[in-house]
Amino acid sequence: MAANTTEYTAATKTGRIADFVDSRVGGSAMVKEFGRKIFPDHWSFMFGEVALYTFVLLLLSGTFLTFFFDPSMAHVTYNGSYVPLKGVGMSTAMASTLDISFDVRGGLFMRQVHHWSALLFVASVSVHMLRVFFTGAFRRPRELNWIVGGVLLILGLAAGFTGYSLPDDLLSGNGLRIIDGVMKALPIAGTYLSMFFFGGEFPGEHVIPRLYSLHIMIVPAMILLMVAIHLFMVVVHKHTQYPGPGRTNNNVVGFPVGPVYAAKAGGFFFIVFGIIALISGLFQINPVWNYGPYDPSPVSAGTQPDWYIGFVDGALRLMPGVLGNFSFEWVIPFPWGDNTLILNVLLPALVPAGALFAVMFAWPWIERWVTKDNREHHLLDRPRNAPFRTAVGVAGVVFYSVMWAAASSDLIATHFHVSLNDVTYWLRTLFFLGPVVAFFLTRRICLSLQRKDREIVLHGREAGIIEMSPEGGFSEKHEQVDVYRRYVLTNFNDRQYIPAEPDAAGHISRKEKRRAKISKFFFEDRVAPVTPSELEAAHAAHGHHEVEGDKKSESLES
């Protein structure tokens, strides 16, 4: 610093306080650095924000609930103001939930805020992950952040499930009973695990306090940690962007955080808050007073878990106990006695969910292996331009949705006046066929859309103007797309079939052959992007078709 600079003194009192703080913590440098970070603008980039904001809402409303909730399983007789349960024996947890709902001012609203936020939290995390998957945002260098996101989804499910069980009402107790059943179905360790978890026989008197510790401390702390890592990596990697003119793999086109994004994101938080508050004020959720206290004997019709656990419940509903004469309950004779392997619980409870998450976590590496594409990607794919990935994704979504639908098979039956058995048979069929059909159908649709894009680039849009030639022939004018649009339509990764390649020693390994097979399956059918020479040739042939309003593109091209 030059010697003639005098010490800066702020003119106002606020300024002096700000300067005092800044000279000690160096906030302005952070603001300067972070405030100039650029984020691209697209509506589909905002679901992660929704997830973050609903999580903040969960923390706020959850803290309120802890002030009044007592997670004890001690038996009490309810004596609050909800008449249809007066004098009924229940656990303290259930009684305090009823007190929050009926006797604490604003308690029911806060419960509903908490529950609706939880539903929206997992929904927005899921949609965010779908966006990331279908646009290819998980590719290098963001593979690890994809994993962190997947872990966040699982933690979201864990937070949801532990919270869902806390009121100790009939509905959640039935859910816990299913968890107990799945645990006991695990070979060898199952019974011990269940006894350990419930502190004795189900339901015992320990499980609610244990779930409470997990729900208010461990799981949220882990979510916070993962969110921090997630956001840190977003800052390090910078945000991805959709292809467009001026957007390359080496830049980010958008608005700076300060002031545009700080204002937008801050405002968006309050918008999400407002939406949740509106929904919570107008729509009832989880009316535990209807379900009544948990008691192992009754099971209500229409017993389902919250939506995000639904797919596991659905898989359990789809699984037959016996197939003709073949039983899925295997009795294995050991020297010390018979042990039962309960495959009709074990398979549906663990296999579909396990397969779904395994493919999800492994996908960035699977794709890198098949495509041999290890480059950094900061430009996103339009889903149609990666037909293989989009098809795999849609197959996964269909697989999930079939199980999801199966969780509400009883409601499908009553509301569409069909037989419950038929619903189950259809969904069983779709469970196997649905993903396959979805894969091929989606790929065909993607390829067709790509062909349409080619068509538009080469021959222009149909202008809707019919011309009659002097000879009496009719033809439609085609309007050339402008250069911005053409950039979007032509600028994408052209993935091709890569045949098996020998390694350094000249061998083609079996793994490499397998890779080549998958590569052929994925990329045999492809639509190549329009090349400049093709474009020129097409324009030369169609030059006379151009219509007015195309001057902009002409001037931009030159």
Q: What is the DSSP string of 147-186?
A: HHHHHHHHHHHHHHHHHHHTT-BHHHHHHHHHHHHHHHHS
* Min CB(504)–another protein separation in Å: 46
* Dihedral class, residue 542 (left if φ above 0, else alpha if ψ from -120 to 50, else beta): alpha
- Looking at 61, 162, 194, 303, which residue binds another protein (CB under 8 A)? 303
| Measured distance CA(75)–CA(324) in Å, rounded | 46
Nearer Cβ to another protein (409/480): 409
Nearer Cβ to another protein (284/448): 284
* Min CB(519)–another protein separation in Å: 36
Q: How many chain residues are in contact with another protein, going by CB under 8 A?
A: 78
The verdict on 433 binding another protein (CB under 8 A) reads: no
Nearer Cβ to another protein (82/523): 82
Question: Which string of x and - marks every residue 229-268 that binds another protein (by CB under 8 A)?
Answer: ------------------------xxx--------x--xx
Which residues inside 352-411 make contact with another protein, applying CB under 8 A? 407-411
Which residues inside 280-299 make contact with another protein, applying CB under 8 A? 280-287, 289-292, 295, 297-299
The verdict on 506 binding another protein (CB under 8 A) reads: no
| Measured distance CA(23)–CA(73) in Å, rounded | 54
Residue tagged 């495509």 (tokens): 371
Which residues inside 88-107 make contact with another protein, applying CB under 8 A? 88, 101-102
Q: In the numeric block, which tokens belong to residue 230?
A: 């997630």
In the 3-class helix/strand/coil scheme, how is 436-457 assigned residue by residue?
HHHHHHHHHHHHHHHHHHHHHH
Helical pair 170-185 and 143-165, crossing angle rounded to 10 deg: 120
Question: Which string of x and - marks every residue 44-73 that binds another protein (by CB under 8 A)?
Answer: xxxx--x-----------------------
Q: Where are the beta strands (DSSP E) in 382-538?
A: 461-468, 474-479
Q: In the numeric block, which tokens belong to residue 28?
A: 């302005």
How far is residue 217 from each of residues 140, 206, 314, measured CA to CA in Å? 33, 17, 30
| Measured distance CA(212)–CA(165) in Å, rounded | 9
| Measured distance CA(117)–CA(248) in Å, rounded | 37
Which residues inside 106-145 make contact with another protein, applying CB under 8 A? 108-109, 111-112, 115-116, 119-120, 123-124, 127
Nearer Cβ to another protein (40/204): 40
- Looking at 16, 36, 75, 86, which residue binds another protein (CB under 8 A)? 86
* Min CB(166)–another protein separation in Å: 15
Nearer Cβ to another protein (42/461): 42
- Looking at 4, 250, 302, 507, which residue binds another protein (CB under 8 A)? 302
* Min CB(180)–another protein separation in Å: 19
The verdict on 421 binding another protein (CB under 8 A) reads: yes
Which residues inside 155-214 make contact with another protein, applying CB under 8 A? 170-171
| Measured distance CA(88)–CA(37) in Å, rounded | 59
Q: Is 332 exposed, middle or buried (0-12, 13-18, 19+ CB in 10 A)?
A: exposed
The verdict on 272 binding another protein (CB under 8 A) reads: yes
